[in-house]
Structure 1
Amino acid sequence: MVAVYECVVGVATAAGRQQPHARLASVHQQFSSGGCNCAMASEGPEFSYDAAYWQVTQAMKEAYSTHGYIIVRKMFSTKEVQKVKTALEDPEGVTMHSYGRNDGKDRFNKMVLWNHPGRDITGMLARTQRIAGTAEQMMGGEEIYHYHTKLIMKEAHTGGTFVWHQDYGYWYNNGCMAPEMISVFIPMDDADCENGCLQVLPGSHKFGRIDHLKMGEQQGADPERVEQALKKLKHVYVEMTAGDVLFIHCNLLHTSAANISPRRRWVFIVAFNKRKNEPYKNIQHLHYTPLDKVDDSALLACDVVRELDGKAFLNYNNNKAPHIIH
């Protein structure tokens, strides 16, 4: 089984008159160089996928409510993951719309974001009952819609860090009034400490929305609040195998370190919002459109490798909505 690591962290950062950006960098610094020295956790919000019996159980809902996330192991087969990877690696596909961000330490992350799933392989993945149906049930069963999909590409040796943040720390500013949103994190490559796996603070979603501050080309949660959260909560490194899936509450504090390994770390992330929670601000493409869920078999049955029209890709240079990136 892939490991979940946890540690209780006390952060020694200077308070006083230190500038917020400097404090945020200080809080994040010890986790940004890659690798971890934590002991393996004995238990966690972890479940195994079985196609014949899959349903969202009360135990899953309770774990999500308690921890702010759940992991579902082996939710997609090797064949399914490879099919999605083939579409993502198409040189004339979605990555044509990618852009880069400097993490302030001479490392870069590439990413691409789009607002409508579409009918191609990537769209089928987002619309499957396994993803969209599970997300809807985890959020209480009310109607949801596709908020956006993004592909995060941390390349070997050069992939950068993402500072501590909450997804809702950004989506709130887009005009979404309530934290009734979820991210579904689907690694296309094995993710571990060396190549920058996700790190989370279980239970931090209960702190509510934390103000976010600009730090270089990123925005991070208020460093004073992050510092206190790190003192109070376990710090978990979530290692995942390609095909595992992580369902994340929009207020969960999370981060990821640099990729210091010779292996890339690509992750496919689908965000959903409740229909009743669509943003009040007039931001293009973020508003409700009906979500046409598909049967799980539709992913392997789909032969549309590339269909870019209608996806509404984010133009980073012209973007005014602070979409969160992991």
Structure 2
Amino acid sequence: MLTHQHVFDYQRDGYVILENVFSQEEVGRMIDTVERGEGVAQANAGGPRDASGRSSRLALWYDLRDDIWSAASTAPRIVNSVRILLGEDASFFHGKVMLKEAKSGGAWEWHQDYGYWYGHGFVFPNLISAFVALDASTVENGCLQVLRGSHRIGRLDHGRVGTQTGAEQARLNQIESMFERVYCELKPGSVLFFHSNLLHASAANESDRHRRSFIMCYSAASNPEITENGLRYRPSCPVGDEDAIMRY
């Protein structure tokens, strides 16, 4: 599904959007899984609070399981796109479902994912996220905002903003005007692929529409993690069946 132009745009801007990666029926099954409260979407609900004290519900896991989320995370249309954008084989890092619910979902402060993934021990910022819109993601319900091209500045220092990890505000104030702010409005089933050093944020959801999303995160297979026992390399992400989502 990726073209040479998509790859160029990703390298230049730090992100690229692909529409209709997942069908409406596949998205419907994911939403149904969330609403039934099955598995991780229920067990780990609860997320860090923004500067105003509001939070969005968050489910997070680090392994591939026999569920709809892992079926999507190993789908060829995702894994092969990630490989192309990383320029090499990919390893699964983690997945999460974010529930920014109507009238209550909190903001996510400006940050780089590598700002805190650095603490996991990854040596290089060769990591990528694939953000799937389950509901229409709009300015009104707190869509993701990015600073186009900001992945090229390297990792900023991060600290606490509320109970979240946010980019150093003094540095952010100085550099924010250097980059175009883009509001990444997405239709359900569209995917935003973005670099781990891309500065991004999202506003609180003050609307009467949910903004639920599913995010799959990957590292380059050659990117080691520093552990107390030495360097660790994650195994390559398996590639599953394109139709597996429809079995759940």
TM range (shorter): over 0.9
1:66 matched to 2:12: yes
CA distance in 2, matches of 1:295, 1:75: 15
CA distance in 2, matches of 1:236, 1:92: 34
Q: Which residue in the other structure is 2:140 paired with? A: 194
Deviations 1:191-230 (A, max 9, x none): 1111110000000001011111112201111112212232
Amino acid at match of 1:169: G
Shift of 1:257: 0.2
CA distance in 2, matches of 1:106, 1:262: 20
Q: Pairwise mapping of residues 47-86 of structure 1 onto structure 2 (< 5 A)?
A: 54=1, 56-86=2-32
Q: Which residue in the other structure is 2:156 paired with? A: 210
Q: How many residues align?
A: 245
Shift of 1:86: 1.6
100, 112, 122: which one pairs with 2:69? 122
122, 136, 143: which one pairs with 2:83? 136
Q: Name the % identity.
A: 37
258, 261, 267: which one pairs with 2:207? 261
Amino acid at match of 1:178: F
CA distance in 1, matches of 2:78, 2:5: 18
Q: Which residue in the other structure is 1:235 paired with? A: 181
Secondary structure of the residue aligned to 2:170 is helix
Deviations 1:130-164 (A, max 9, x none): 11111111110x22111000111111111111110
CA distance in 1, matches of 2:161, 2:146: 20
**Aligned-pair Cα RMSD in Å:** 1.6
Amino acid at match of 2:209: R
Q: Residues 146 and 273 of structure 1 are in contact (CA less than 8 Å); yes or no, is this contact kept in structure 2? A: yes
Q: Which residue in the other structure is 1:110 paired with? A: 57
Amino acid at match of 1:292: P
Amino acid at match of 1:78: Q
TM-score, length-normalised on structure 1? 0.72
Shift of 1:115: 0.6
1:273 matched to 2:230: no
Q: Residues 128 and 217 of structure 2 are in contact (CA less than 8 Å); yes or no, is this contact kept in structure 1? A: yes
Q: Residues 204 and 229 of structure 1 are in contact (CA less than 8 Å); yes or no, is this contact kept in structure 2? A: no
Secondary structure of the residue aligned to 1:102 is coil
CA distance in 2, matches of 1:121, 1:92: 10
CA distance in 2, matches of 1:258, 1:162: 8
1:182 matched to 2:128: yes
CA distance in 2, matches of 1:210, 1:106: 24
Q: Which runs of 5+ in 1 are unaligned?
A: 1-53, 304-326
CA distance in 1, matches of 2:169, 2:44: 32
Secondary structure of the residue aligned to 1:61 is helix
CA distance in 1, matches of 2:238, 2:157: 34
1:297 matched to 2:246: no
Shift of 1:124: 0.4
Structure 1: 4+ residue segments shifted above 6 A: none
Q: Which runs of 5+ in 2 are unaligned?
A: none
Shift of 1:282: 4.8
Change (3 A) 1:220 1:201: same
Amino acid at match of 1:102: R
CA distance in 1, matches of 2:89, 2:224: 11
Q: Which residue in the other structure is 1:91 paired with? A: 37
CA distance in 2, matches of 1:119, 1:133: 20
Q: Residues 223 and 233 of structure 2 are in contact (CA less than 8 Å); yes or no, is this contact kept in structure 1? A: no
CA distance in 2, matches of 1:282, 1:271: 23
TM-score, length-normalised on structure 2? 0.94
